[in-house]
Amino acid sequence: MIDKNNYEAFFLDYLEGNLSEAEQQALYCFLLQYPELKAELDDMQLTEVEQPDARSSKQSLKDIPFNTDFEDFCIAKLENDLTYEEAGLFDEFLLADNARTKAYLQYEKTKLTADKTVVYPYKSELKKQRIVLFPYWKTAVAASVILLMAVGIRLFNSPQTVNRLAIISSLPKTALSPIENKAVSNSLAKRYYPYFTTKNQLAEVKNNSSEEKIKRQVELIDPAALQEIQSELKPLANAPVYADIIKERKEPLQQTPANSGLANIGLAWKSSIKREPQSLLYAAAKAGVNKISSIVKSKIKTRQIYDNQIEVSKLDAENQMYVYSSEKR
């Protein structure tokens, strides 16, 4: 549909004979609506420069409508659209009248010349952009690594983290058995539960084993809570080390069967050699003997012996003056 925004294209198509009948009718209606554009249409009529005949005489060249289409010929000369012969004749036509020359010079002023001093100032950016676009993913990876390193260093060197690590490192190093360790950690976790924000964090604290987990644990715990934990753990520093406890327990057990003939045949449990007291009855009996000993004010030596005949252990008082034991004595 022809309108004021596209009428020029319609005019051109009309002049070139490319419009259909319906479009021509639309064009005529449009010109009736806007009669001022009729002059523009007439102005757009291209000057058909007649091709000079090679055999043409000077008389036929004079037939070229320089006068009627003077402006178009001026522009054609400016645009180098004239043939060599036409250009020569038009030059003669111009020189014949100063007014014509002056008019042509006015057209020459419309010829634009580029100001070469105006240059694009950001050429380096164009080159840079071409280089950057390709390895974009490499840059992204490098940036991510740098960012992670920066965040890690920032967290590790933060004053709060340093303080917490210092507190932990100052705690007494107490070796506990696995059972004791679990018991302690459970009790601590239960006691300091309010200091952890989520159950997951609490679970992490309970199950910590590696150094990294400990570090995370340190970050999760409030410094005030750490002070309390420190005071709780300090007494444990004086507790016997688990390894020492095991050693103490193992020593008498190893001595017992060493000098026993029964031990050699796998019957160490039947040996009458002194063994580690294990029976509650033995302890009660010994306590009774000790009581008697205190009453009579005389030390009574006791020992546990095994009676093969009745297959029971007995408390034997070596000082037979005061105490008798069982049937044998």
Partner 1 sequence: METYADGIFRFILKNLTDEDKAHDVVQDTFEKLWRNRKNVNPEKVKSYLFTTAYHTMIDYIRKERRSDNFDKVREEDCAHSCQYSDLREVLDMALAQLSDVQRSVVLLRDYEGYSYEEIAQITALNESQVKVYIYRARKKLKAIIGTMEAVI
Per CB under 8 A, does 53 bind partner 1?
no
Distance of CA 280 to the CA centre of its chain: 64
Per CB under 8 A, does 3 bind partner 1?
no
Spatial neighbors of 239 by CB under 8 A, at least 6 apart, are: 174
Per CB under 8 A, does 258 bind partner 1?
no
Per CB under 8 A, does 120 bind partner 1?
yes
Q: Looking at beta carbons only, is 71 or 244 nearer to partner 1?
A: 71
Name the amino acid, one letter, at 197. Answer: T
Q: Looking at beta carbons only, is 43 or 276 nearer to partner 1?
A: 43
Per CB under 8 A, does 5 bind partner 1?
no
Contact status, residue 161 vs residue 218, Cβ threshold 8 Å: yes
Q: Strand 302-307 vs strand 312-317: parallel, antiparallel, or unpaired?
A: antiparallel
Least Cβ distance, residue 41 to partner 1 (angstroms): 11
CA–CA dist 243, 249 (Å, integer): 10
Stretch that binds partner 1, among 25-33, 104-112, 245-253, 301-309 (CB under 8 A): 104-112
Contact status, residue 327 vs residue 308, Cβ threshold 8 Å: no
- DSSP result, 181-221: HHHHHHHHHHHTGGGSSSHHHHHHHHT--SHHHHHHHHHHS
Least Cβ distance, residue 201 to partner 1 (angstroms): 49
Per CB under 8 A, does 136 bind partner 1?
no
Least Cβ distance, residue 128 to partner 1 (angstroms): 11
Per CB under 8 A, does 118 bind partner 1?
yes
CA of 246: how far to CAs of 177, 237, 238, 274, 298, in Å? 10, 17, 17, 20, 35
Pick from 26, 37, 61, 75 the residue near partner 1 by CB under 8 A. 75
Q: Looking at beta carbons only, is 6 or 186 nearer to partner 1?
A: 6
Q: Looking at beta carbons only, is 103 or 171 nearer to partner 1?
A: 103
Pick from 42, 48, 115, 318 the residue near partner 1 by CB under 8 A. 115
User: Which alpha helices (H) appear in the chain, and where do they start and end?
Assistant: 7-15, 21-33, 36-43, 58-61, 70-78, 84-95, 98-108, 123-133, 136-156, 159-170, 178-191, 199-206, 211-220, 223-233, 242-255, 261-264, 280-296
Pick out residues in 201-240 that bind partner 1 (CB under 8 A): none
Per CB under 8 A, does 34 bind partner 1?
no
Pick from 6, 25, 44, 166 the residue near partner 1 by CB under 8 A. 44
Per CB under 8 A, does 125 bind partner 1?
yes
Determine which helix (DSSP H) or strand (DSSP E) holds 157, and give its type and residue range: none
Least Cβ distance, residue 99 to partner 1 (angstroms): 13
Two tokens, residue 197? 């924000």
Q: Looking at beta carbons only, is 75 or 305 nearer to partner 1?
A: 75
Pick from 20, 110, 200, 231 the residue near partner 1 by CB under 8 A. 110
Spatial neighbors of 236 by CB under 8 A, at least 6 apart, are: 172, 174, 176, 184
Task: Give the residues lining the site for partner 1 (CB under 8 A).
Answer: 9, 12, 16, 43-44, 46, 71-72, 75, 78-79, 106-107, 109-116, 118-123, 125-126, 129-130, 133
